[in-house]
Structure 1
């Protein structure tokens, strides 16, 4: 098997390219081209997308999401491999989390198609949110270089909770006042560590906190801890193929597969069924 390998040389958990090459060679896989995602990635990968290559992506969900953005809707095939901290996408695809084992299974697999989702035409493979989570990430990033990741995360979470901003959003013509909206690519089981059993149902799941009380938020957290979050009266959930979120602000801070950016309102979310061809 011949592949194009996309990797992230700046990731703290990244293996050296030489070691990745040896691991592939041990399973009769040849790397024709290696592309560092931090160096002119889109330009470098374009000819391989056009030729319909097998494109192996190793890294965390952010790296895999960037590769999926280029591969979806084309004849190229993405090979997602675990290489990050959480690896939600590869876990939900039931890909072995040991890299050597994941590579070893490739010869016995057939290509298949899975869904991605888009927000204002930008792909995400896992989920997107507005409100508390992206606000927390933004606050953390401002001080992380000085205090470290985890102390900064704790501080940012407390600060976001104290500020407790609300958003007035309209979904399918219904207005909600909420501090948090979560949109998932396919159905997340919020009673089971937020896992997905399928990535080919062609739907989005939407979960919203529909209370403006900090006490209600604490109750929802408590429900989540004991695994009975669906019992909360302050959580609204729905399943849809597309959803448009209107807000009074012209731009919103949005999380997408763990990365935070400002997006223009309205936010137009769509499921893109069977649009990503994968091997794994």
Structure 2
């Protein structure tokens, strides 16, 4: 079903993650309410203080938004956006975004401002654009999903952020520490286009975000999403120095030139553990959140499934010069 733009008086049902962003939660809530109410619109604002309750709260708010014909909005980082977007897809709601995370890949890809006040103004003048969602074993992802070293990297990064604060520098240094440490390589079999391939890799990374692919230099996979596909990256097992070289290539936007990387695009892929491995579940990172999923893993691209509100970049908010 192709979703139309919401009606002009549609209420906004906003889920705000108090753990995201660097600004005081009360100030963020006041800013959101001020801009929306000044425009003569109504909003319901639900603040999530306990991250473990985010899926439960997002589902409840989405139910109310669907019942009232409202817009379901996520305010937070990419993990928060993913959790709320999942409910928007399930309930058939139009979805809005107020990016408040460290990297904000999803919001930046769709031209949504990182400044909160500007993002709310953009939300008020936005139109529906249908965008792709990735799926792994029924769990949606907007940016990426991965197994192997990457989930471990995210767990270490979260630990370091609690100690040293949330910043892109802390995230980069934490990633280097994890990548250069000891880790096991995955041994997996993938079913792709009717053929089975066996891979040995430190991590299997599946991307659903053009900007992220562009930044690490994975051409031509940066256009896979526009073609209704997902992008897979699987580094070959290498020593620490060559792994460091891969990380540096990615930071410089030249990963696609590396010989030690397998990369391909797909619409559907199944990942299995080798026979006799005994593994039944595996850690999977889904838009920055680590969870345990049962094997085999089924990855799929759901083209145009999410009805996202996106403002015309040429328009300006009221009062702008």
Q: TM-score, normalised by structure 1?
A: 0.86
Maintained 8 Å contact 1:191/1:228: no
Q: 1:198 to 1:93 in 2, by over 3 A?
A: farther
User: Where does structure 1 lack aligned partners over 5 or more consecutive residues?
Assistant: none
Q: Quickly say closer, same or farther: Cα 1:44–1:223, change in 2 above 3 A.
A: closer
Residue 246 of structure 2, aligned match among 209, 220, 227 = 220
SS at match of 1:219: helix
Name the CA shift for 1:50/1:166 in 2 (closer, same or farther; >3 Å).
Answer: farther
What residue is the counterpart of 1:109 in the other structure?
A: 126
Report how far residue 102 of structure 1 moved: 2.4
* Other-structure match for 1:205: 231
Tell me the CA shift for residue 50 of structure 1. Answer: 4.3
| 8 A contact 1:206–1:238 mirrored in 2 | yes
Q: Equivalent residue for 2:317?
A: none
Residue from 249, 253, 268 that aligns with 2:298: 268
- The 8 Å contact of residues 134 and 142 in structure 2, kept in 1 or not, is answered as yes
TM-superposition CA deviations, 1:154-198 (whole Å, max 9, x none): 567535533121001112210010001110115466453579678
User: Secondary structure of the residue that 1:45 maps to in structure 2?
Assistant: helix
1:254 to 284, 298, 306: 284
- In the alignment, which residue of structure 2 is the partner of 1:185? 208
Aligned pairs (5 A) from 1:1-280: 1=9, 2-11=11-20, 13=22, 15-16=25-26, 17-31=29-43, 33-37=44-48, 38=50, 40-41=56-57, 42-141=59-158, 147-148=163-164, 154=173, 157-158=176-177, 161-172=180-191, 173-185=196-208, 187=210, 190-193=213-216, 200-247=226-273, 248=277, 249-280=279-310
Gaps of 5+ in 2: 1-8, 311-321
Distance in 1 between the 2:103 and 2:160 partners? 22
Contact 2:190 2:272 in 1 (8 A): yes
1:212 CA displacement: 3.7
Using the alignment, how far apart are the partners of 2:147 and 2:33 within structure 1? 39
Whether contact under 8 Å (2:70, 2:94) holds in the other structure is yes
In the alignment, the residues of structure 2 paired with residue 194 and residue 50 of structure 1 have an alpha-carbon distance, to the nearest angstrom, of 43
The equivalent residue for 2:313 is none
Aligned Cα root-mean-square deviation (Å): 2.8
* C-alpha contact 2:82 2:140 (8 A) present in aligned 1: yes
TM-score normalised by the chain length of structure 2: 0.76
Secondary structure of the corresponding residue to residue 164 of structure 1: coil
* Aligned residues of 2:145 and 2:206 also touching (Cα < 8 A): yes
Distance 1:57 1:253, change over 3 A: same
Secondary structure at 1:105 match in 2: helix
The question of whether the paired residues in 2 share the 8 Å contact of 1:205 and 1:239 is answered with yes
How far apart are 1:114 and its partner, in Å? 0.7
Q: Which moved more, 1:187-196 or 1:248-257?
A: 187-196
What whole-Å deviation, never above 9, does each CA across 1:210-233 have from its counterpart, x for those lacking one?
Answer: 234333322322333443222211
Number of equivalenced pairs: 278
After superposition, the Cα gap between the structure-2 partners of 1:111 and 1:214, relative to the gap in structure 1 and judged at 3 Å, is same
